[in-house]
Structure 1
Amino acid sequence: MRIGILGAGSIGLLFASYLGKQFDVTLFPRRHEQMDLINEKGVTIETLDSTFTTRVRATLDKNEFNKQELIIIAVKQYHLENIQADITNIHNEIPLLFLQNGKSHLKLINHLEHESIIVGSIEHGALKINETTVVHNGIGLTKLAPYRGEINRISPLLNWHCEYFQFKTYLDYKEILLKKLLVNAIINQLTAIL
Structure 2
Amino acid sequence: MKIGIIGAGAIGMLFGAYLAEEKHDILFYVRENKKTANLYIEKIPNVPEPITCKQVSEIEALFSMDLIVIAVKYHHLEGLKKDLDLLPKHLPLLFVQNGLLHVPFVNRLKQSTIAIGSILHGATKVNNYTVRHLGIGITTIGVHRGDWDKQDALLRCSTNEFPIKFTSHIEETLFKKALLNCLINPLTTILQVENGMLIKNESYKIILKNIYEELIETFEEWRERLSWPEVVSLCNNTEYNRSSMLTDFENGRLMEIDTIVGAVIAEARKRDKALPVLHTFYLMLKEMNKVGDHRY
Alignment TM-score, normalising by the size of structure 1: 0.91
| Mapped contact 1:95–1:154 kept (Cα < 8 A) | no
Aligned match for 1:161, one of 158, 163, 178: 158
Matched position secondary structure for 1:20 = helix
Distance in 2, matches of 1:56 and 1:19, equals 10
Distance in 2, matches of 1:190 and 1:108, equals 28
Aligned match for 2:135, one of 124, 138, 149: 138
Matched position secondary structure for 2:63 = helix
Residue 45 (1) aligns with residue 41 (2): yes
Matched position secondary structure for 1:47 = strand
Unpaired stretches in structure 2, ≥5 consecutive residues: 194-296
Matched position secondary structure for 1:162 = coil
Residue 188 (1) aligns with residue 185 (2): yes
Residue identity opposite 1:122 in structure 2: I
Distance in 2, matches of 1:154 and 1:58, equals 25
| Cα deviation, residue 20, structure 1 | 1.4
Matched position secondary structure for 2:100 = coil
| Mapped contact 1:95–1:115 kept (Cα < 8 A) | yes
Residue identity opposite 1:6 in structure 2: I
Aligned match for 2:101, one of 100, 104, 109: 104
Residue identity opposite 2:24 in structure 1: F
Aligned residue pair count: 189
| Cα deviation, residue 150, structure 1 | 2.2
Higher percent of residues as strand: 1
Aligned match for 2:71, one of 60, 74, 79: 74
Unpaired stretches in structure 1, ≥5 consecutive residues: none
The equivalent of 2:119 in structure 1 is: 122
Residue 29 (1) aligns with residue 30 (2): yes
1:108-140 Cα distance to aligned partner (Å, 9 max, x none): 211112121000110011111112101100111
Distance in 1, matches of 2:117 and 2:106, equals 13
The equivalent of 1:65 in structure 2 is: 62
| Cα deviation, residue 65, structure 1 | 1.6
Identity of aligned residues (%): 37
Distance in 1, matches of 2:151 and 2:82, equals 23
Matched position secondary structure for 1:55 = coil
| Cα deviation, residue 159, structure 1 | 2.0
Q: CA RMSD in A?
A: 1.5
Distance in 1, matches of 2:171 and 2:158, equals 25
Distance in 2, matches of 1:137 and 1:186, equals 19
Distance in 1, matches of 2:173 and 2:48, equals 31
The equivalent of 2:144 in structure 1 is: 147
Alignment TM-score, normalising by the size of structure 2: 0.61
Q: Which has the higher contact order (CA 8 A, sep 6+)?
A: 1
Residue identity opposite 2:18 in structure 1: Y
| Mapped contact 1:7–1:29 kept (Cα < 8 A) | yes
| Mapped contact 1:47–1:135 kept (Cα < 8 A) | yes
Could you say which structure has the larger radius of gyration? 2
Residue 12 (1) aligns with residue 12 (2): yes
Matched position secondary structure for 1:68 = coil
| Bigger mean CA offset, 152-161 vs 122-131 | 152-161
Distance in 1, matches of 2:41 and 2:54, equals 16
Matched position secondary structure for 1:111 = coil
| Mapped contact 1:158–1:167 kept (Cα < 8 A) | yes
